[in-house]
Amino acid sequence: MIIQQDDRLVFTYDGEKLVIEPWGPNAFRVRATKLAELPAEDWALLPRSGGTSEISISEDSASIVNGKIRAEIDKLGAITFSNQKGEVLLKEFVRSRKGLYEPSLQGKVLISALEVEAREFKPILGGDYSLTMRFESDPEEKIYGMGQYQQPFLNLKGCELELAHRNSQASVPFMLSSLGYGFLWNNPAVGRVTFGKNVTTWHAVSTKVLDYWICAGDTPSEIVESYAKATGTVPMMPDYGLGFWQSKLRYQTQDELLEVAREYKRRGLPLSVIVVDFFHWPMQGEWKFDPEYWPDPEGMVKELKEMGVEPMVSIWPTVDHRSENFGEMEEKGYLLRTDRGHRIAMDFHGNTIHFDPTNPEAREYVWNKVKQNYYDYGIRIFWLDVAEPEYTYYDFDLYRYHLGPGVQVGNIYPAVYAKTFYDGMRAEGQEQVVNLVRCAWAGSQRYGALVWSGDIHSSFESLRHQLAAGLNMGIAGISWWTTDIGGFHGGNPDDPEFQELFIRWFQWGTFCPVMRLHGDREPHSEPLGTSGGGVCNSGAANEVWSYGDEAYGICVKYLEMRERIRPYVKELMKEAHEKGTPLMRPLFYDFPQDQGAWDVEDEYMFGPDLLVAPVLYAGVEKRKVYLPSGASWQDAWTGKEYQGGQTVEVETPIDRIPLFLRDGAQLPIRG
């Protein structure tokens, strides 16, 4: 049965209830369940605003139109989405004989003995469902977004992706299709999606509801901006976020960190943020400085701010069983629970379990500790590490949250972890909130999440993976994104091969939303002690002067360049805040009519005026660059002019990353 309820279409059949309703301009939210009532959670979506519906119901089918998108549902529940031109955008995959008994429906459902349902709710013994959602697949479709995966593919067609978080993997399940639609899988359950040649299949291991959001648009930018209206945008980036961030694993003492900041100032080098990394605390779950190694945090913060440098402090969500807060947090239900075995999720320097940010009281508890021991000293940026959350073993079915089983709600963790700090900082009157987070889910951006790509390998292969990850994160709504320049794992600053990788990565980092140096360099130093903040060792030096004279000169060149283009970056940040526009985006975002732009995966636009073509392989002296049609291009280094729609070959000496200015844009690349 299909009926109209207010401005919604409601379909019921054999215990299933499905609702299609407008959710913003040119968009629908679709939900279905076999429970008595639809669950109330909006998950990644903001409360509905905007959108209208025109509904028509006939004997055999019904349709609902909202601006540029139309949904048609037949009597047996099969849905087809199309745009204002009548072109099919997305259609459910149904292979059933039921249509044989409904002659008027032939052509709506492909008659088949396979008996494959589009929406398959498979009951789980004891409660809820395993859910599979199937759509027809266009083999020529290109798919982008979905967050961050450690692979080189920008176009995700043909890929299978785990809908789960891991260290360096962030599942942000929004996809942009070259066919002209955007699709959000609005479900925080652990699962999987396959963008097959024949079928697109979404799967949730355990859930109560099918929930997705779909919009139509004439351009990629229109689609991404619609998604941003539905899920939120980043705050305005504070000015100190636009410059250079210095970090390493790990400054072991207050004196060591201060001396690095002083050296930057002595050398006249720009420095905006410096980082106090992990194990500055007495124990995990004691959110405060270890006084043995950080005796005067208030004085440290004061000196840094007098130098014009903002301190950022690492926070882990892990709580050691021996820590001063464990007993109270366990008693009050502020920790993750395990369905079997001992309550241990991570065993790095102690047996630990994560606090549970799906519990509002737990969020308030942790923020109050952080406020007392960091924020009240003047610290205004936090590094929210281990945010997936990271487990020693990724047994997702083991953990249980305040909101439900980990397999059913676990992907929400990084978003509510970021919300913990965002809400606390806003309550203190801070308007421009930015916190570095090692993971994200859909909607994380509205909580000031600056996501970095995790503990990645130091190699050119990894560098190539990060480019694809960053571009897809931007499409998925995560406008603020960065990497560890040079990669995280490995790399000796005295090794010429690593110096080359570092230089190429540093050049690229200049044209990322945030320019941040970090890494675990070789060889390691020894721990300073046997307890508290002294138990963890440190990597080798990781400052710009640590890589030899040639690398240092090149780093200085790009540090100064980043300073010169800060006004441009600030304008890009404003667009991200107001419209959800990604700072770095694939060429097709700005040139959707150029079919060649859709095929390029190793270049990108940094804002509307600058094309960036990173050097992604060792020993490269030249590289080819595609210049999109519909614009003229100037080589930012040589001044040579080119017309778009062609591929050119340019020199790539070690101190140069290929850059092209669009249509006479004036950016101070060379000073």
Which residues are known to be catalytic?
A: 385, 388, 455
- Angle at CA of residue 237, ends 509 and 186, nearest 5°: 90
Count of residues making up the chain: 671
Query: Going by C-beta distance under 8 Å and a sequence separation of 6 or more, which residues neighbour residue 257?
Result: 251, 274, 276, 300
Q: Which amino acid is at 176?
A: L
CB 117 within 8 A of CB 96: yes
Distance CA 87, CA 94 (A): 19
Distance CA 502, CA 432 (A): 31
Q: Which amino acid is at 26?
A: N
Residue 423's alpha-carbon distances to 323, 418, 432, 448, 660, in angstroms, are 25, 9, 12, 10, 41
CB 322 within 8 A of CB 283: yes
CB 610 within 8 A of CB 511: yes
Q: Which amino acid is at 601?
A: E
Distance CA 178, CA 187 (A): 23
Distance CA 115, CA 108 (A): 15
Bridge partners of 662, per DSSP, are 633
Q: Which amino acid is at 574?
A: K
Distance CA 130, CA 126 (A): 12
Distance CA 371, CA 291 (A): 17
CB 7 within 8 A of CB 21: yes
Structure tokens belonging to residue 368? 């109050």
Bridge partners of 192, per DSSP, are 162, 203
Distance CA 89, CA 136 (A): 10
